[in-house]
A and B are shown apart, each in its own frame.
Chain A
Amino acid sequence: KQEVTQIPAALSVPEGENLVLNCSFTDSAIYNLQWFRQDPGKGLTSLLLIQSSQREQTSGRLNASLDKSSGRSTLYIAASQPGDSATYLCAVEPVLTQGGSEKLVFGKGTKLTVNP
C-alpha cells in the first residue's frame, strides 16, 4: 500500500528565506507526483507536476525534484513571501495494478507560515 509522508508538518520562516519541503513515498511504482497548495477553507491549487521519467520541474520561484528510486521529492521555494503561507500537499499517482483504480495518494501536508 502506497503511503506518502511529508516533513515537517509545520514550518515558520522569516520573509525572504529559501526553504525546502520534503515528501517521501513508500512505493516507487508511480506515474507521477504532484505538489499542491491549499489555503484555509479552499480547494487545492496545482503547483507542479513531475512525471515519473522526469527529475525536476520549475515554475517561477518554485522548483520540485523527484528521485523515484529513493521515493523522495522536494519542493524548493526561493525568496519566500508572506503570500506563500499555506499548506503544501504532495500526492503521487500509483501505477495501476490489476483490479486497481485511478487515484491520488496524499501526504498530510506541510503548513508553511512566512512571517513579514
Chain B
Amino acid sequence: GAVVSQHPSWVICKSGTSVKIECRSLDFQATTMFWYRQFPKQSLMLMATSNEGSKATYEQGVEKDKFLINHASLTLSTLTVTSAHPEDSSFYICSARAMGRFYGYTFGSGTRLTVV
C-alpha cells in the first residue's frame, strides 16, 4: 500500500530557531501533499496544501511566512517552522494520496515539535 514517511518523529529546538520537517511518499508520486497540526486531545487542523512545482495554499489564519512549505519534487514536501516560539509546539502530520479520489489519504507518522 501507499506509504508516507515523515521525519523527524520528534524535535526539540530553541526559541527563535527554525525547524524543517520532511514528508516523503515512498512508493507513489504525489502532486499534492497536506500539512496538518494537532493540539493535545484535539482533531487535526489543515494548515496548508502543498502543490508540486507551485506555491502552497494556506488555510485561513495560518501564517505563510512562519510555516514555509516547499514541494520541490513529486515525492517530497517540506514544512519549515521559522523563528519558532513555544506556542508553535505541537504535533505536525503530513498526508498524501496515491491517485485520485478512488484511493484514500495516507498519513505520515507525525512530528512532535517542542520549542523551549
Contacts and interface: CB of A to CB of B under 8 A. Distances in A.
A73 to B, nearest CB: 14
Given A34-B104, A101-B57, A89 B110 contact: no
Contacts of A32: 101, 104
A43 B109 contact: yes
Interface stretch (B13-21, B40-48, B71-79, B80-88): B40-48
Interface of A: 31-32, 34, 36, 41-46, 49, 51, 89, 91, 93, 101-104, 106-109
Contact of A43 (B6, B34, B49): B6
B93 interface: yes
B4 to A, nearest CB: 8
Interface of B is mostly: strand
Contacts of A89: 43-44
A51 B103 CA distance: 9
Contacts of B103: 49
A36 B91 CA distance: 17
A43 B107 contact: yes
A102 B109 contact: no
A31 B95 CA distance: 18
A46 B104 contact: yes
